[in-house]
Structure 1
């Protein structure tokens, strides 16, 4: 019997190289992505899994590896790509990409995330695909976009040369489940006694503004407080980008519209506030006052619409009157008239800030007209770490007069 050929292992070895190459995850993912684009196949989790299974050598993939690869491809084609796992983390509120560096915020400030991009071109393609999913254009002719993804995530992207070391990509997550006050207490945003105060403000139908810096939790707190509104009341929301989703049975929302590619079709918040007044609101809410629409909001709250609310960017509670003045001037409202409108329309200011431990309610204040010119000033009623303040008794009296319970945190100042 002749001996076995010594060259037999050669062909086997030659075949092993291509097999390993065919099963390389990045290569398989690239082929599947190209096939979806070329064939125009509808991207669904099931269709992606089928496409991966159809790849040569896929039978050698284990179930875990195959599903992981399918998730990656689906994210590249329909989701946020390599950023999808970060956005899915319930602790993450913001994901930021500078060039190829990724940063995230879990409520305790920004921290660097592991690298997931290999080149700026990869970030650019992801940003353009996300913009296209919002029906928006992002290219050299229009190098920036501010939009809302189908799942509610807020998208902002800037491309070079506007972005000097970009592309830059900013994503703010949207959680479908609104927080309850007990959730905010557990997270340390409010204390148990302060939660009682916030409930009393809603029960008393006092109009309030929530102020704070970017990412301080204004929308989260407003969402939570609106969930406390009685179920037989109608809430009308006016927002630049729909972010508020209170847990309430009767909520309708109006969202501003930006110009199309031809530069027409803009519908601003001011016009939406005027439309909202015709929709029989029990509570009128402007998601964020950032321009002349503050004049329309003040006018609306002075026509019998109690319990209205809104948010406002401000560094400190004492800066709010000046901030409102600046916005009022954009709407052509003189300073004395603006302060008269504020005094009559809004009673309470809730200010938030970012602390080393996370987002916290820093102060609850009253907006009180003072002096010969009756200019509105901010008078604290409660402050973090100090408890009841000079205006505590006034706020307690306002709650009692409107049939709401006097919260324990103000009881010391009640007389």
Structure 2
């Protein structure tokens, strides 16, 4: 028996292949046969569908549960194992016609619904995402996390929830992780026990195998929306607080450079995609990312994506290489998906040489920590402290900080501007601070308002929310100086 058949997996050559034309099948009898032409398997990781194939093997279209010959799960598992082995040996895709042929080879006779149920479950296991498909089909799910065969979690925007989805055993989790890695063109085995990759549909994959992951393979899937949220949608969802949309629009119109900071899963990429969608259609946006996650709704976007080294250690395309290439592509807006390495040097240099309106994201637990975070990255890249702070003071104007509140909601918490302290180092100064129900003007507000006004007067485009900038009475708010009641 060959290796693929012994392990019960599909040969590597069949991974991620597009399904062929829909098989045409005709009705013969109520045992094995077909009543009409039926669709072949759905494309790999097809989401946002009416998929109803749960971990128990529900039939397509919501038909009855199939228990298979022999009665119950044991008989079903034995039959599926036999069909799986036949498909692995023949190198066939699990189409209904192929599954029916495999059943005939085993001397099994099943009705239409049973054959379709077996085909759908095998398709899900061999070329789909297995028990995770119903979760990935849910448009409200942003993250799917597997920490054990019986511990599958999802995030629907309100924090992590334990689901009823389970895997048969730890081997099934490992098999799924390795297959997804192969679909992404990456290696995942004992010699290279972790992987970080992007799947063909944009889903972000991260997996770690035992013994590095103690007990069971850990699998993390970050679901990418087929389109970016609009700013109005983020306002409705509470991510952008009341009045915040006017500040953000003015920030873009004034072509100020900015970074979006926040912790993991705070919504940095989501907000940046929405803001880039507001850039004028005549501007050229060039994106540089380790993994392509930004999807701005804009007519002129150039996307550059990094690449890891191959098994021989060659072929690496690092993010700082992409930033250098982006500078030669006449960008009106240069965007770095996530600043986390030596690319910070190239980005700051670019923003200091006439590339206005640049932006990116950075991991930080508070806006005040951003200068220290950039300093650490710049030092690791060989840029001394004084030089980095000089470039930072001239290159960056604003920091938008995101948090997840106690209810799990992602929202903008603060807007900071940058200034030098008496020692000459760059620090952030809060300009606006939003609580869960209200916001306050802070010490940096006048500077922020001046930046927005100067950007408009510099010929960079009008501030849409008013030619006079943002007077204090633009919104109802609590001001540190006048003590007025907070608005919501």
The question of a shared fold, defined as TM-score above 0.5 by the shorter chain, is answered with: yes
1:391 and 2:444 aligned? yes
1:40 and 2:95 aligned? no
1:49 and 2:100 aligned? no
For residues 75-86 of structure 1, the aligned pairs below 5 Å read 75-86=124-135
CA distance in 2, matches of 1:17, 1:95: 30
For 1:364, the equivalent position in structure 2 comes to 415
CA distance in 1, matches of 2:68, 2:352: 76
Q: Report the Cα offset of residue 27 of structure 1.
A: 4.4
SS in 2 for 1:136: coil
Q: Report the Cα offset of residue 218 of structure 1.
A: 0.6
CA distance in 2, matches of 1:22, 1:382: 59
CA distance in 2, matches of 1:323, 1:17: 58
SS in 2 for 1:279: coil
Q: Report the Cα offset of residue 60 of structure 1.
A: 2.4
CA distance in 2, matches of 1:291, 1:17: 54
Q: Report the Cα offset of residue 191 of structure 1.
A: 2.2
SS in 1 for 2:328: helix
For 1:344, the equivalent position in structure 2 comes to 394
1:332 and 2:382 aligned? yes
Q: Deviations for 1:15-74, whole angstroms, at most 9, x for unmatched residues?
A: x99575799554454444333322223x4xxx6233345545675244xx7655544322
For 1:250, the equivalent position in structure 2 comes to 300
Q: Deviations for 1:145-185, whole angstroms, at most 9, x for unmatched residues?
A: 11111111111111111112221111111111111011111
Residues 124 and 133, structure 2, Cα contact 8 Å, conserved in 1: yes
Residues 235 and 282, structure 1, Cα contact 8 Å, conserved in 2: yes
- Gaps spanning 5+ residues in structure 2: where? 1-66, 457-461, 475-488
1:162 and 2:206 aligned? no
SS in 2 for 1:353: strand
Residues 396 and 407, structure 1, Cα contact 8 Å, conserved in 2: no
Match of 1:111 among 161, 165, 178: 161
Residues 399 and 406, structure 1, Cα contact 8 Å, conserved in 2: no
Q: Deviations for 1:259-298, whole angstroms, at most 9, x for unmatched residues?
A: 1011111111111111111010000000001111101110
Please, which moves more after superposition, 262-271 or 385-394? 385-394
Flag the 1:93–1:22 CA change in 2: closer, same or farther, 3 A. Answer: closer
- Gaps spanning 5+ residues in structure 1: where? 1-15
For 1:189, the equivalent position in structure 2 comes to 239
For 1:74, the equivalent position in structure 2 comes to 123
Given the two structures, how large is their TM-score scaled by the length of structure 1? 0.88
CA distance in 2, matches of 1:68, 1:110: 31
SS in 2 for 1:156: strand
CA distance in 2, matches of 1:219, 1:22: 43
1:412 and 2:461 aligned? no
For residues 144-293 of structure 1, the aligned pairs below 5 Å read 144-293=194-343
SS in 2 for 1:291: coil
Q: Deviations for 1:342-382, whole angstroms, at most 9, x for unmatched residues?
A: 111110100001112311111111112232x3211111111
For 2:48, the equivalent position in structure 1 comes to none
CA distance in 2, matches of 1:307, 1:68: 53
Q: Deviations for 1:231-274, whole angstroms, at most 9, x for unmatched residues?
A: 11111100011111111111011111111011111111111111
Flag the 1:227–1:376 CA change in 2: closer, same or farther, 3 A. Answer: same
Flag the 1:229–1:33 CA change in 2: closer, same or farther, 3 A. Answer: farther
SS in 2 for 1:332: coil
Q: Report the Cα offset of residue 120 of structure 1.
A: 0.5
Residues 393 and 410, structure 1, Cα contact 8 Å, conserved in 2: no
For 1:93, the equivalent position in structure 2 comes to 142
Which structure shows the higher helix fraction? 1
Q: Deviations for 1:373-396, whole angstroms, at most 9, x for unmatched residues?
A: 321111111111323222222222
